[in-house]
A and B are shown apart, each in its own frame.
Chain A
Amino acid sequence: MAAKIQQAPRTLTATRSPHRERVRRCRNRSEHAWAYLMIAPVTIGLGLFYLWPIVQTFYYSFTQSGPFGGHQWIGAANYRALAHDSSVTQSALNTVFYTVLQLAGIPLAVFVAALLNQRGLRGRSVYRVIYFLPVVTMPVAAAMVWRWMYQGDNGIINHLLSGFGIAGPHWVSDPSTAMYALAAVGIWMAFGTNLVIFLAGLQGIPAEYYEAAKVDGASATRTFFRITVPMLTPSIFFATVLTVINSLQLFDLVYMMMGTPSDATGQSNPAMPHVQTIASLFYEKAFIEHDTGFGAAVAFVLVAFILLVTVVQFRLQKKWVHYA
């Protein structure tokens, strides 16, 4: 659409008059200068702090940091080392598992969005504020609160569970529950974002579809699955891509919920091997152990993951996303 609008005036101004042509060329030249001036700050900033660093990180991944801060070329040794390092494989598996668990938040958010979108519902904006609150909460602070609620001995969650006669585990230090505990916090934090995306998507569904369904006597459940969900698939696809990209980069929750003062990265937590993500492994290798080369190689594992998953998602999209 936008491209079409953009083309139209250009064909109009491109007249055959030689004078006009000269004026236009002159304007073009000054427009060039203006354009370069206007993109200069971003180009320099992105180049210096983002683009060139990609190249540098790639280079570092083939080096070992020397004792005096230099970098020594060691070929693909870091990549060979990480292929045989069980902590890398394990953290890659953990990251994927966390991401899959995060996807469970999406159908939940679709359901709540559909509930909120019902005609005649009061207090919609109050609910929206409440569900959105965790999105604007600092993840570090949220992680601290949840860690406290997950406390094994006097945490509120186990206290509430004991009311039902259930003895809750030490959620974040028990290897069998730690990942689920973190994933629940992740879903809680992202819920509002997904909800708002779906609410916006619901606005785009023509009311006639629902009226037609009503005339046909379709049940609420049937309407939801036959109209709401299919019409919402572009939003669901977008939320899925967003969730996957964010989840694959999880760091804050692991850092804040697994460590202790004497052990900031949580290596002595028995559950850590089951929760360590690629990003937290990267931080530990690059900035705690100062093994820059290995850390850089770990970062590229994540790049490969994200590219792969994104390509797969866009391929699969054709099978289930309906664009109206």
Chain B
Amino acid sequence: MPDLASSRRPRSGERGRLIATHTVLIVGGLVMLGPFVWELLTSLKPFGETTQNPPTILPHHWQLSNYSKVFQSLPFGRQFLNTVVMTVGRTLAQLVFCSMAGYAFARMRFRGANVLFGLFLSVLMVPGLLFLIPQYVLLERLGWLNTMQGLIVPGMFSAFGVFLLRQVFMAMPYETEEAARIDGANPFQIFWRIMLPLARPGLAALAILSALSAWNDLMFPLVVTTDPNKMTLSAGLATLQGEHFTDYSVLMAGALMATAPMIVVFLVLQKQFVQGIAFTGSKG
């Protein structure tokens, strides 16, 4: 083991340890990446090569026709658009609504605040299954099944978002607010002009978590939409699997296209993603 007395030995010991570390991390990395590589390779193969035993590793005939087959069996462009609109709509609404409520709970005193906040916390603690049947009944009654508003509206409100942003506002110093109050700003102006810009890291964390869960959610869109033109990508992929059950090259092309946008966003906003998850993590 490294010994402080000699200056050369620890260095070589350290190098050995770093090589061992890289080896372990690379093996783990292959396990994490492997499925993506296999997904991509399969999506470029003709059907015949996927049913062959043993399977070909690299495609003998590289082809892109599986991607066009996805567009033939699914209104993929439409579903992509639906998913984007749903994700953006829910996320923006959550940012506005949850930050307003979070600020009010953190900094303003009003009757019933504790009771209301307790009720919101109870929403946070029970599983999502509990809301699904009545949400379906309500959306059906409103005539909102198979509509964009049906997909978006219930997801515009988040108890988690209120809780998260309340924590963020509670941790902020009071001085700036007091100064604005003396200048005659009303509480909403103080919130909107002064406090909200300071809450940016918290807002980014909520936006990322909200967008991820909207993009990836399965059970809710499965229940609310039956018309392929109104579906999101996750529900669409489930129907694609129903149609091309054994044609894995088409399935992989669809899976890859549905996943790619979020992965691109992640690669661009890496730091925010990682900080967002870690931020909400460390708040526990």
* Chain B stretch 159-182: residues in CB contact (< 8 A) with chain A: 159, 162, 167, 170-171, 173-174, 178
- Listed stretches A33-41, A80-88, A167-175; interface member: A33-41
* Chain B stretch 108-159: residues in CB contact (< 8 A) with chain A: 108-111, 113, 116, 119-120, 122-123, 125-138, 153-154, 156-157, 159
Contact yes or no, B274 A132, CB < 8 A: yes
Contact yes or no, A188 B31, CB < 8 A: yes
Chain A residues whose C-beta falls within 8 Å of the C-beta of B266 in the assembled complex: 132-133, 136
* Chain A stretch 269-290: residues in CB contact (< 8 A) with chain B: 279, 282-283, 286-287
Q: Would you give the 0/1 interface string for B15-38, flagging 1 where the beta carbon is closer than 8 Å to chain A? A: 001100110110011011101101
Known A57-B134, A133-B263, A219-B1; contact A35-B251, beta-carbon cutoff 8 A = no
Contact yes or no, B174 A5, CB < 8 A: yes
In the complex, B2 has a CB within 8 A of chain A? yes
29 A-B pairs with CB atoms under 8 Å apart are: A2-B167, A30-B186, A34-B104, A34-B187, A38-B101, A38-B103, A38-B108, A42-B97, A49-B138, A50-B131, A50-B159, A51-B123, A120-B14, A120-B18, A135-B277, A137-B263, A140-B234, A144-B252, A145-B38, A154-B53, A155-B55, A200-B278, A220-B1, A241-B284, A248-B127, A251-B218, A282-B129, A287-B222, A299-B132
Q: A154-B55, A238-B284 are in contact. List 7 more A-B contacts (CB 8 A).
A: A49-B138, A49-B154, A54-B123, A144-B237, A256-B238, A306-B126, A310-B125
Please give the residue numbers on chain A whose beta carbons come within 8 Å of chain B beta carbons, in ascending order: 1-3, 5-6, 8-9, 28, 30-32, 34-39, 41-43, 45-46, 48-54, 56-57, 60, 112, 115-116, 118, 120-121, 123, 125, 127-142, 144-146, 148-149, 151, 153-156, 159, 162, 188, 191-193, 196-197, 199-201, 204, 214-215, 217, 219-220, 234-235, 237-239, 241-242, 248-249, 251-252, 255-256, 260-261, 264, 279, 282-283, 286-287, 292, 295-296, 299-300, 302-303, 306-307, 310
